Amino acid sequence: MKTEELKRLSCEPVEFKVKEKRTLLGFSRKQLCIPYGVFLACFVVLPLLLIVFYAFTDQQGGFTFDNFIRFFTSATTLTTVIISILIALATTVICLLIAYPVAYILANSKLNKGGTLLMLFIMPMWINFVLRAMAMKDLLTLIGVFEFNNYLNVIIGMVYDYMPFMVMPIYTVLMKMDKSLIEASKDLGATGVQTFTKVVFPLSMPGIASGITMVFMPTMTCYVISDTFGNGLITIIGKLIDEQFTTFSNWNFGSAMAMVLLVIMLISMWVTGGFKSEETRGTNL
């Protein structure tokens, strides 16, 4: 081989072909993602595209904005949305006020070895929520509370059913919190109230935001509980959407309402997403 050719070969970059790592049963990670991608496309993306299609078309298939105009001009629809938001807001606030102390006690209790107390708290979630709702309704009827007010009954039912969804994320964040920060605040002379307000509570904001998201939106659409505890006299937006699909067979208007709820959900997730940065943000005493 000539000297010039050897110099040329030595200067050219050498490409190494790295074999892709094989995982389960010899399949690569990309290949294992294919079933998940197919599932996501068939059961998430496609239904969303159908909702968008029906929302912007009439029953003859023509493009229109009438479904959204009807939504924002109908007194019945707007009243139902306001009632749904108020019920969801009251449920979320009550759940937060109860769940935070519970999560704090569970996270700091010496008796909660291996999450035993937490498991006892969330164990009722293993039972079908309809059965739990009926059992709570019978209990409220037995003690005489169920006869007071339908809206109060619905809020009690919502709080009872969605409380664990508020407890779990707050408990998880409190358990992962660096306890040395609390010790440092005490060493710097902070009182218990100051330590909680300036260290514990700010660092638990990601859990609070997750809990609010997991409680607020579902309670706006869970018409099974509103029917069970409201004696069928309280209509929330979820029931209104269900009626459009099942009773009136108006998929177009029902899809438009579902899209509005989807936008509200995205906005709420965007707002609460701002608290995620609190997890790594420093605290000031």
Query: How is domain 75-279 classified at the CATH fold level?
Result: MetI-like fold (1.10.3720)
Q: What was the pLDDT predicted at 49?
A: 94
Three-state DSSP class for 139? helix
Interval 185-194: pLDDT, tens: 888 888 888 9
Interval 107-117: pLDDT, tens: 887 765 656 76
Angle of helix 237-246 relative to helix 251-273, nearest 10 degrees, comes to 150
pLDDT average, residue stretch 39-56: 93
Domain locations along the chain: 24-55, 75-279
Question: Structure pTM?
Answer: 0.80
Given a contact cutoff of 8 angstroms between Cβ atoms, the answer to whether 164 and 180 are in contact is no
Given a contact cutoff of 8 angstroms between Cβ atoms, the answer to whether 238 and 221 are in contact is yes
Tell me the C-alpha distance between 226 and 17, whole Å: 61
Mean pLDDT, the chain, integer:
83
Tell me the C-alpha distance between 151 and 230, whole Å: 7
Q: What was the pLDDT predicted at 241?
A: 93
Interval 51-80: pLDDT, tens: 999 999 998 989 999 999 999 999 999 999
Interval 158-204: pLDDT, tens: 999 999 899 989 998 998 888 888 888 888 888 888 988 999 999 99
State how far the alpha carbon of 215 is from the alpha carbons of 2, 41, 97, 234, 284, in Å. Answer: 76, 27, 13, 19, 30
Both tokens assigned to 65: 């904005």
For residue 209, pLDDT beyond 70: yes
CA dihedral 93, 96, 98, 104 (to 10 degrees): -160
For residue 20, pLDDT beyond 50: no
Rg (CA), the chain: 27
Three-state DSSP class for 10? helix
Both tokens assigned to 40: 């996501």
Tell me the C-alpha distance between 21 and 281, whole Å: 37
Cα atoms in the Cβ-side hemisphere of radius 13 Å centred on 260: 22
